[in-house]
Amino acid sequence: MNKPIPYGRQHITDEDIAAVTAVLRSPYLTQGPKIGELEESFADYIGSTYAVAVANGTAALHLCCLALGVTEGTRVITTPITFSASANCVRYCGGDVFFADVDPDTVLLDPNAVRKLLESHPQGYFSGIIPVDFAGYPVDMVAFRELADEFGLWIIEDACHAPGASFVSETGIEHRAGDGLLADLAIFSFHPVKHIAAGEGGMITTNNESLYKHLLRLRTHGITNKPLEFTTPYADEPERGGWYMELQELGYNYRLTDIQAALALSQLERADTMLDRRRELAARYDLAFSEAASAGIPVQIIVPPAGVGHAYHLYVIQTLDRKELYDFLRTKEILAQVHYVPVHLMPYYQNLGGKPGDFPNAERYYAGCLSLPLFPTLTNEEQDYVIDNVAAFFKSSR
């Protein structure tokens, strides 16, 4: 058995290494042909019309906010149970972040809580919503689309935890996370513990051609070789050469490299296989902890209903003995983790007005949550070791 056992781990194969090596031997290291290949393949996998590869998931969020016009005074709603980048991206643009509580049954942003917040302010007070597919559980984007249409909002779906996730709406339509049918923009991450590991990297998906073209420009300093109508007279001169380019707006260097794109492409080829293994491991945990609960072991789990295709970036249990269990598992070289400290309780956001008690469901969840090891190369033997030690902790503490 391999120990220690982390909560997440990348899986790099000989095929991945060969793909990266081929790029290192090619003329391109930064923006080369692999970028376009990855964007086309990822859009096809997710089911969106367009995809834009960027430096990381946080850059993806930032560019989405820029493309949607977030600026000083823009007000955006998101969940307190997420990585802080889901909120920080609004602050990068000078906007204001408002949080709404989560649904205790899913730990996802609660549409009812969002509606209550929207209705407590004048129409037009808010500009957008950033729901998060937390742990791989896909958000009910139909409910958020209805809210967005009613209140004139845009939506950025933070799908970093959920490539391959899906849900079936009440009308029987299957929606894949980030497919562009319900959100204006969606973002993904290629961090090593995510489904597709590229070291770093991110992707934005959309079905909106105008936003797509804007994002392409924003990720590369705001520079393009396609002149605007109102641009400098040099743009229209017949002798303008192939060197010509324009800085049309303030953009960023948020490009992905061909090296990373090659690794992500190689990983994408086995994305479904790795997702199947995550779901298989989650089902084994579900069975073990359902039986544990019936035996009086105080662990709560979230089992999605039929029609929800959970992507299982994380497998989270909840217990009142979280700190003690966390410490005990560390003595057994099981490196469980906590996802996440509620964003509104972070010192930065407390300085902006957040305080304990603001979002009871999110805070109750945080008080007991613990992410157990879950990654495609986790063996059944290693998982049984985790399960046995969780059970052993509670038996010894009775």
Catalytic residues: 194
Q: Which residues contact 344 (CB under 8 A, 6 or more apart)?
A: 80, 99, 350, 354, 355, 358, 359, 362
The DSSP code sequence of 139-180 is --HHHHHHHHHHHT-EEEEE-TT-TT-EEE-TTS-EEETT-S
Tokens 């979230």 map to which residue? 302
Using CA atoms, how far apart are residues 63 and 54, in angstroms rounded to an integer?
Answer: 9
Alpha-carbon span 256 to 263, nearest angstrom = 11
The radius of gyration computed from the CA coordinates of the chain, to the nearest angstrom, equals: 22
Q: What is the three-class DSSP state of 315?
A: strand
| Separation between Cα atoms, residue 54 and residue 222, nearest integer Å | 14
Query: Measured on CA atoms in the order 236, 241, 247, 251, is the torsion positive or negative?
Result: positive
- Cα separation of 133 and 138, whole Å? 5
Please calculate the CA angle 227-231-235 and round it to the nearest 5 degrees.
55
Beta strands in the chain (DSSP E): 5-6, 50-54, 75-78, 96-99, 128-130, 154-158, 166-168, 174-176, 185-189, 202-206, 223-224, 246-247, 300-301, 308-309, 315-318, 334-335, 369-372
Rounded Cα distance between 177 and 162, Å, is 7
Nearest to 255 by CA among 220, 229, 214: 220
**CB-CB neighbours of 239 under 10 Å:** 5
Q: How far is CA 85 from CA 78, 89, 218, 283, in A?
A: 11, 6, 19, 30
If DSSP codes are grouped into helix, strand and coil, which group holds residue 132? Answer: strand
CA distance 36 to 258: 9
